[in-house]
Chains A and B, each alone.
Chain A
Amino acid sequence: MHPILKDRRALALYLLAWLGPGLTLAVLLVTTVKAPWSGALFFSLPVTIVYAFMSLSAWYVCRAFPLPGTDIAKTLLSVLIAAVLSSGLWLAACYGWASGLQRMEPGLAPGERYADAVPLLASFGVGLFLIAAAVHYLIASQEAARRIERNALELQVLARDAELKALRAQIDPHFLFNSLNSISALTSSDPPAARTMTLMLADFLRMGMNYGALEMISLEQEMAMVRHFLEIERVRFGNRLTVRFDLDEGTQQVRVPPLLLQPLVENAVNHGIAQIPGGGLVHVFAENDGASLRLTVRNPADPDRVRPRAGGIGLHIVRQRLERMYGGEGRLDVQESAGEFLATITIPHHT
């Protein structure tokens, strides 16, 4: 929809602005072809209003040849052709109106001098159309700027949402409830163990909060958090859960995004160990491989387990974060075979 036609106030302002050219045209008619004042006004005001509407078509020219994106010469040429065409059409309309006036009220018509006014009207028409086109290009550029601003805002909101979701997904409330239930059981059977568990849980939560707010942490910090998590889960699962870390030298100081490995370890426990009556080993590796760091979590998995829909939310968030931070350079590979589940994160070094 045309930006001026869709807004009644804009249209009123636009037509009001055209009174200027209308009056100017009357003055020019009086001074150059010696038309009488009344005839000049009766002729020029209606035809400029008609031309005001005709000039609205400049919008479609500027839509068809948007300024950034089209060759300037091509744009100018198209605008010029449009100006000449509409000016020609307008001349025909002027002629019609002049002869109509002549027939109805000869006293008010511009009279025989109309023919003398043709060059004046033609150049007036072309000039006005060019001005109208310029105004329309201005409107278009303003609209584009507004659209860009709106898109940027929308993107910001989306990013904020995604971050919030990521944060919320970081600590599974069921992990908390189950841990609290373990503490509740231990308070009577083994009070020192209950205290140890409470402290570990507090440490884990605090690390999650502190690290979650940072851009990057060292792998050592991430591993400390993972170890706490697994210690807590070991209280819950007893001897069903065994844990092993194989961390290459020189990997500990590598900078990594916080809570990237943590969801993989959580998955290993929830979808691996927790689904097997006898449990098993969660094995965490960290290796330097040239310019990249490889983090692997390996765990047994029951092939008959009920699988989370769409591959699980945890893995999805890890993939999303890798994509956002490293583009194609960071990735998560997942493979499952013969009752074993393997998740590997590969990211470029940031030391």
Chain B
Amino acid sequence: MRVMIVDDEDLARDIVREYLASYPGFEIVGESSNGFDAVQAISELQPDLLFLDVQMPKLNGFEVLSLLDVRPKIIFVTAYDSYAIKAFEVNAVDYLLKPFSRERFGQALMRVTGTDAAAAHDDIDTLIRSNRLPAAPVERILVRDGTRVHVIPAESVDHIEAQDDYVTIYAAGKKYLKLERLSDLETSLDNRRFVRIHRSHLVNIERLVRLETYAKDSRIVILTDGTKLPVSRSGYEKLKGLL
């Protein structure tokens, strides 16, 4: 099994490497120490298993995952237990809390090979129960453009338009194409700032200049940069509630 280790601390990678050495059948094909490098290396090396830290420079572990086309199996390795719920939303195999023992590491590997699937969920459940916090809205949108990653702060986004399986993100005078459904973006962004005014349009309400009504159920909004967007009937109801 081809393994990659992604952690910004040398010593933290050392310990995974050391523990893994006693398991034949696992080969370390690469290591990364930050999110940007990790996205690129994982795409090139296509490992089967990823040891992934959450808190890293540039992109955190979850952001790295969101930018991958093909996801390897994931074992999160972190000192923070507060990401457990999120880890299982992205179908992680296991969640190792630093520091961890050789035995605990072994269990995680058994989960990967499927020989210890049943036992897997006990401590996961405990972790999740102790961390019942609502997921915070995302504060930046990541767009992959070949090997480059654009980081778009949520507050700089003007509006987002749905186009088939893509969305076009308009931010600070630039356009970005991202492979994601508009409804998914809508749920992950702060709903006090972003409002779905139409089936195909999500708008940052801080950019609204005015709302014009042409006829009953025929309305448009005008944004600070002069863009005009159609407003559906339910979109109008939402705007009315917010303004």
Contacts and interface: CB of A to CB of B under 8 A. Distances in A.
Given A274-B55, A276-B57, A306-B139, A184 B99 contact: yes
A235 interface: yes
A186 B58 contact: no
Given A177-B97, A189-B14, 14 more contacts: A174-B80, A177-B99, A181-B12, A182-B11, A184-B99, A185-B12, A185-B14, A186-B11, A189-B18, A236-B11, A238-B11, A277-B57, A304-B151, A306-B139
Interface in A241-285: 274-277
Nearest to B80: A174
A14 interface: no
Interface string A40-69: 000000000000000000000000000000
Contacts, number: 64
A185 B8 contact: no
Nearest to B98: A181
Interface string A174-195: 1001101111111011000000
Interface in B125-164: 136, 139-140, 151, 153
Nearest to B152: A304
Contacts of B12: 178, 181-182, 185
B57 A181 contact: no
A274 B18 contact: no
A275 B8 CA distance: 9
Contacts of B136: 309
A302 B57 contact: yes
B15 interface: yes
A237 interface: yes
B98 A178 contact: yes
A274 B55 CA distance: 9
B1 interface: no
B18 A188 contact: yes
A180 B98 contact: yes
A309 B37 CA distance: 27
Contacts of B139: 306-307
Query: Which secondary structure dominates chain A's binding surface?
Result: helix
B57 A185 contact: no
Contacts of B116: none
Contacts of B36: 277
Nearest to A186: B11
A306 B11 contact: no
B79 A237 contact: no
B9 A236 contact: yes
Interface string B1-22: 0000000111110110010000
Contacts of A235: 11
A236 B36 CA distance: 21
Contacts of A237: 9
Contacts of A184: 15, 99
Interface in B42-63: 55, 57-58, 60
A180 B102 CA distance: 15
B232 interface: no
A183 B100 CA distance: 11
A277 B99 contact: no
Contacts of B9: 178, 182, 236-238
B204 interface: no
Contacts of A309: 136
B97 A277 contact: no
Contact of B58 (A180, A183, A304, A307): A304
B18 A185 contact: yes
15 contacts: A174-B80, A177-B79, A178-B9, A180-B98, A180-B99, A182-B12, A184-B15, A184-B99, A238-B9, A274-B57, A275-B58, A276-B57, A277-B36, A304-B140, A307-B139
B107 interface: no
Contacts of B97: 177
A41 B80 CA distance: 83
Q: Which 7 A-B pairs have the closest CB atoms?
A: A177-B79, A181-B98, A185-B11, A181-B99, A185-B15, A277-B34, A184-B99
A235 B37 CA distance: 23
The interface centre, meaning the residue of A186, A188, A277 with most chain B CB atoms within 10 A of its CB, is: A277
A306 B18 contact: no
Given A177-B98, A184-B99, A304-B151, A277 B58 contact: yes
B200 interface: no
Interface in A132-191: 174, 177-178, 180-186, 188-189
A171 to B, nearest CB: 14
B8 A181 contact: no
B79 A181 contact: yes
